Structure 1
Amino acid sequence: MQDIRCGQCNRKLGAGEYTRLSIKCPRCGALNVLRAERPTPESRRASHRGDSTHDERSRLGALQPTTP
């Protein structure tokens, strides 16, 4: 999580994660408009480690000769 602070008086307005946020500071009255710099990346697919079928296929594919 990330602290969300007023850009004018530096008062802590909250903590969390956001993509877009508009919040008015109760201390100084400044309107803070925040956007994420880049979107959160999608989670990666599960790896095939420990999958005996996948390991067997990669070993067999590496041993087979290629045709010209």
Structure 2
Amino acid sequence: LEAIENQGWVHYHSLTPRDNLEQPIEIIEQARNESGYKIEVKEIRQIKKYSPRLYHLCSDIFVEKY
């Protein structure tokens, strides 16, 4: 987030447990609360199955400084 001057996009890749697909949203919300940035999740998509219990997800996030 610190690399963004005024606004920009972050493509956040994560390995997420199949039984907790809300995990990336929880991490993004925590970053929003701690950062002072306006953060909007535009899309979360499954890239591939990483293992039987993990998915590779990509979150497209728009970030703006207040």
State the structure with bigger RCO (CA 8 A, min sep 6), 1 or 2. 2
Q: Normalized per residue, which structure has more strand?
A: 2
Q: Does the TM-score normalized on the shorter chain lie above 0.5?
A: no
* TM-score bracket, shorter-length normalisation: under 0.3
Higher-Rg member (1/2): 1
Q: TM-score, normalised by structure 1?
A: 0.25
